[in-house]
Homo-oligomer: A and B are copies of this chain.
Amino acid sequence: MNIYDISKAAGVSIASVSRVINGADNVSEKTRKKVMDVIDEYGYTPNAYARGLGRGSMKTIGIMCSDSSDIYLANAIYYLETELRKNGYNCILCCTGYDYENKKASFELLKSRQVDAFILAGSKYVEKDSKDNQYIIDGAKEHPVMMLNGYIDADNVYSVVCDDKGGIKDAFIKLYESGARKTIYVYSSDSYSGSKKIEGIKEGARECGIPENSLRIVKGEKTFNGIAELLEKEYEKKPFDSVITSSDTSGIGALKFAVRRGLRVPEDIQIVSFNNSKLASAANPELTSVDARLEESCSRVCKLLMKLLNPPLDEEGNPKPVSISKKTKVKSKLVTRETTRF
């Protein structure tokens, strides 16, 4: 059933059908009824492509994430998709993985879908070699790019980032204040947010008067056992009295290490993880975790995007230029549970 079929069946022109389905007011009640009756009887869903072709916008946002099964990103996708749909936008999702070529290909694919904007969720879209970000910068010339927890300084690229640095710094200081003197930091990714977190550790140490060269920062594979085994080795080398991890997954790993080693938590060893996902409260004992305030960040992303895509109009109907900050920072929040003596 297309618009011609409907118009024929209703005995009116396609223009009238178009007017009815688009809720124009210059249609007689009689015509409207004729058309609606036919639609109700036969059913009809306008073809969004044809519509988009004519109008130049499909009201679609392209979302890229490296792995939608990652708890953190899964939540992000949920918040983003739900919020955008409320605003009349649909989402095409690409789970790009971590491979550069794949990310780039996904971006191209979204371009071909004429998305109105891109959302790059997660900090894995900022490449080390800044030349490799060129595809994003070029793409932004056509449509805005929103980065969730990533930052690239370019035209039409906007960022909403969690204050990872501040969150980790606070955690470090809190641990210090609670008596921890031998803290080890475990991370598993050299992404944008990964480096911010390390900065946070360093800054926290500085404020506590700890020399940077005595800091213990180790990198491990992001799995429960990978982290647990890494810590086991490190503990053999030299014991520590507290662990900060860059994710809840790693936090669980730290917990497993403590259990296997027979260390009491938080008496013998304190643990602070990052993200405050379900994993943190599922753990036993429950993990103290830095809440990255993901929902807030996602909501900001959507609000900014709507502002960009539907700028308010001035009296003459021209879009007023909107000023949108290139980088929005969302404060993190420490959620204290059972793995610390705060």
Contacts and interface: CB of A to CB of B under 8 A. Distances in A.
Interface of A: 43, 45-50, 52-53, 58, 60, 67-71, 74-75, 77-79, 81-82, 85, 90-95, 97, 106, 108-109, 111-114, 138, 224, 249, 252, 255-256, 259, 278-279, 281-284
Contacts of A49: 49-50, 52-53, 58, 113-114
A77 to B, nearest CB: 5
Contact of A109 (B90, B112, B252): B90
Contacts of A93: 77, 81, 91-93
A224 to B, nearest CB: 6
State how many copies of this chain the complex holds.
Answer: 2
A98 B71 CA distance: 20
Given A69-B77, A71-B74, A90-B109, A114 B284 contact: no
A113 B279 CA distance: 36
B279 A282 contact: yes
A69 B74 contact: yes
A90 B113 contact: yes
A47 B112 contact: yes
Q: Is the interface of A mostly helix, strand, loop or mixed?
A: helix
23 contacts: A45-B108, A45-B111, A46-B112, A47-B112, A49-B49, A49-B58, A49-B113, A50-B53, A60-B92, A68-B68, A68-B74, A68-B78, A69-B79, A71-B278, A74-B74, A90-B94, A90-B109, A91-B93, A224-B282, A249-B282, A252-B282, A256-B284, A284-B284
A47 B114 contact: yes
B281 A282 contact: no
Given A68-B68, A113-B48, A283 B284 contact: yes
A92 B92 contact: yes
A255 B284 contact: yes
Given A224-B282, A279-B282, A95 B71 contact: no
Contacts of A70: 74
Contacts of A112: 45-48
Most B CB within 10 A of own CB, among A48, A75, A97, A224: A48
A281 B224 contact: yes
A223 B132 CA distance: 43
A278 B279 CA distance: 9
A95 B81 contact: yes
Nearest to A47: B114
A53 B119 CA distance: 26
Most B CB within 10 A of own CB, among A47, A53, A77, A93: A93
Nearest to A79: B69
Nearest to A91: B93
A58 B114 CA distance: 13
